[in-house]
Structure formats: C-alpha cells, structure tokens
Structure 1
Amino acid sequence: MTQTVQDRQAARTQIAKWRDNGLTSCLVPTMGGIHDGHLALMDRARTVADRVIVSIYVNPTQFAASEDFDSYPRELGADLTRIGHRADIVYAPANLYHPLHATQVNPAGAALGLESEFRPHFFTGVATIVLKLLNQLPTDFAIFGQKDFQQLVVVRQLVRDLDVPVEILDHPTVRGADGLALSSRNIHLSADHRAIAPQLFATLCTTAQKLQTGTRPESAVADASDLLRRSGFTSVDYLQLCNPEDLQPTEIITTNARLLAAVHLGAVRLIDNIALGDVT
C-alpha cells in the first residue's frame, strides 16, 4: 500500500530501514500533474529497485515571476489516484525551503545555453531542489525522463561534480499517438493549438532525416525553425543540434547527436528533443 508522507525524516527513516533489510530504492522526482510519462518512470523504477519513492513538489525557485507557477497543476488527490500502487511512498512536503534559505547551486557546463538563454533562473532552481531531494531522500537510484534532456544532463553533471552517491537513470520520452511529448502543461493548450503541437515532433524527425542524408546543420535548423513558424507556432526559442554529453553545439552527425527545441504556442511553452538515431 502506498504511504503518503510530508515529513522528510519519516521518509529518510523508511529508506534506512529498507537498506538495512537489503532492499534498494529509486526516487522519481515530479512536480505533480501526474500523466502517463510519469507513470512510465515509476514502472521503470520498479524494474531496477525494490522500493519506489515518488516526490511531488512544485518548486518555486525554477519559475520566474512572469511564468506559470500559480497555474501549474496542483491536484494531490488526483495524482495519488493515478500513482496507485506504483509507489511505496509518495513524498509530498508542503515546503522544502527553510524560512532563512540562502544557498543556491549555480551550475555551469551543460546548464549554459539552450534553456538558460531564455530562462536564466531555471537551472539554479532545478539544481538546488534536486540536490535537496537527493540529500533528503538518499535512494540508490533516481530517474528522470529524456523529454527534459538538458535537465537530465545537468543533473548527471551535478551528481558527478558534487559526488552525490546516487545512480541517475533515464527513460525515453513518452508520447501521445500523434507524437506530442506528454507534459503537465499540455492541459493548457487550446483545441486549435493542441492540433498544431504534434508538428514539433514531426519537424524534429524531418530535420533528423535531412541531417543524416547530408543537409548541413545550419541549413537544416534554419529550415526547421521557419517551418515551425509557418505551421502556426507563435515563436521558436531555439532549435539546435548538440553533443549529447555536454550539450555544446555540434555539426558532427552521429546517431547520438541530439536535436533540442523550445517553442511557444500561445501562452504555452513546449520543449522536445530527439537523438538523430531515433529516426531512420
């Protein structure tokens, strides 16, 4: 039976008991708004660990004042119903920051560029809250989705650089039947914008094919950005081919090279990415 806890010490005590009994555990960090993508992470966690902990916390420090912190989905009851028996513990603290909190993690490396060009606050908030969660919940594994690929690379960098004793796992992006990457923010798309949204994934796939058949990256990316605008997207923040290890821009075509994109559809911002080898 899934246990819901708000107290960090209660969660830590349970993890210690599991470890004393020879049981491994995996953390699935979320901000709620649980959808099938999150459930896939939980199912994967269950295959690698004996016990699964899901955290639910909408982290205020990764939102700018102009962003959607206030409207981000918060329905704990519905989230718990969706999670069902997939987790042994759901950690749902009311607040993870001390009233006098004054310390931040400011990552460089893979955190520079892409998202940071448009949301300069974002990875400081992400890195700080992830480190807090990994300290509070010392599991053997933690799993993140590939949909937020830059976040995944930044978290791996954080764990490596700060010697955090946890193994970071990843899971492929979960998509709807039309290719749209699942996201808690998709509920805010209007019907018209929801019909346009799958063109982001389709454009990434077409661009990957062009790159693998000899089109120069600069030309392929420019064409893709133009196509997205003509398809009805309000604006394109970025569309870039990157080295998957450090997310530096690259013109070297390999199956692991990653196309990453961020676009706006009205008031909703969508991100997506694919490895070139995902498309044949």
Structure 2
Amino acid sequence: MKRKLTLMMLGMVLLGTISCNKEDKLDANSVFVDSEIEQNEFDKYIYTNFTKPYNIDILYKYVDRESDLDYNLVPAPYESSIRMTKLLSYLGLEPYNDLTGSKEFIRKYFPKLLNYIGSVAVRNNGTVVLGTAENGAKMSLYNLLDLNAETGQDKDYLNYYYFKTVHHEFQHILNQTKPFPSDFRAITGLTYVDDAWNTVYPNSAAGNANAISAGYISPYASKAAEEDFAELYSFYITRSQADFNAMLNIPGATDAGKAIVIKKLNVVKTYMRDNWNIDMDKLRENIIARMDKLDTFDQTSLN
C-alpha cells in the first residue's frame, strides 16, 4: 500500500512538471486580438463627415446583432449606402445646423449609430417598418435596395420612404429628452386605437379622409399620442404648405377634424420653439429649398 501511494505521488509530481513545461512553451501573444480592417474611401468619408463632427457611426455592412432578427432582412447595397449617407447629411442634419448656427445640436441629440438595411421589415399585419429609433442611441433605416439614381431625385419618394421617417424618429428622441406637454394628448382624448390603426383607418383615400376627420394627420398617427406628435412634426417640415394643405383637404375629410389637426400642430410648433429654439416654419423652408436643388446635388461622390 505504501508503495502504491509513493508511485501515485510520483506520478502527480511528474504530471505537474510536464504541465509546467507545457505552460512555459505557450505563446505569450493573445489569440483574441482584433485584426485591423483596412478602411475604404466610404469608411473614411463616414469618419470625416459623421464621426468626427457629430460622433455618429454608420453601419452599412449588415451586422446581425444590430438588426431585428424578427424579420427577414437583407444588406443595403454599397452604392445606395453612399447615396443615403450623402442625402442624410444634406436633408437630415444640415438643416438643423443652419437653424441652430452650429453642429452641436445634432452632435448632442441625434442617435450615435445609424444602421442601414436593404429591405423593408414586414409585420404580420402586412404593414411595413421604414425606420426605428432605439433609446435615443440608434436609428435603423430600411428599404435602401430601392434608393438609386432615379428615386434619389424624386422628393416625394425620398420623403415617403426615408426623410419623413428620419425626422419622425428624431422627434421621438427629442421627446425622450424633453417630453411634450400633456395637453397634446388630451386634445384627441381616448380615440387612439393602438395597433388597430391600419384596420380602423386602412391605407386608402377613404381611410386617410377618415383619419383627418378624426383629427389625425395620417392613419398611423392614431396609434398613440407619441406617434401622433412625431407624424405631425415630420409631415409638416418635409412638405410645402400647399402639399400639407392637400393632405388636410382630402375629399371626405371634415372641417372639424382639420381644426383638431391644426390645433395639435400648433402644440408641436410651440414645443419645438420653447424647448429647442427651432422654428418649424423656417426648418421646413430650409428643407424644401434643399429638396428643390436635388438635381444639382451630387449623391455619389466621396470627394
């Protein structure tokens, strides 16, 4: 028994010696070192024009952990990503710079991560997601597959699919920082319909007219007060007064409903003026003027 115990102890000593010898021979360099990724011209453009001045990063290469896995999504095309990035600066950020006199407003409040997705996200009820804002830190923009030389010149298309969405989501972030007044929610009272908005006010001329008659600028505005506020803001600043009036005066809409929309719009204007020192009429004038110059704006050069 004593001999067996001695042999076992000797074996343990030898094993420990062998283990130590192996550890002595391990490479001191860690295998968990990120390899350097060479930046292309677009990466450099993003760093110079977004990251340095605004502390904003852009994901144009599909990253699954930054995307909503509830949907079947595809990456954004490279050319469309360049086009969106240049248009975003031109139509989404610079108008605020012009009004506030610096880049500080955007640097402080605009989301720090932009995520580009090629396709739209389709919900189970058939509606589509064109953009999302998450906790004031990230904004995802969808449908870049359809952004090309032709659609990039179509201001109605750009507004519907992209920039009305950008300003809508940005308004959510501003509301998270400084809540809008409770009297806005009280104007329409208990008529918000939550997720039933697309069945109560279907996507049709009659559905839009009924939404206006109920005091909502769009069917989606009837979902909740937060969406109502953001819809009013984004529709107003991305459309001329004539276009906005056309939305209100759709055949079938009642005067009473139009009056409610205008009443709520005035609350939005006051909120932006008093809380952010932004005149929505001047902001709209700036955005419309830029839209009118789209045919001379270079959407592809990275110089």
Q: Which has the higher strand share?
A: 1
Structure having the higher Rg: 2
Tell me the TM-score normalised to structure 2 length.
Answer: 0.27
Tell me the TM-score normalised to structure 1 length.
Answer: 0.29
Q: Which has the higher helix share?
A: 2
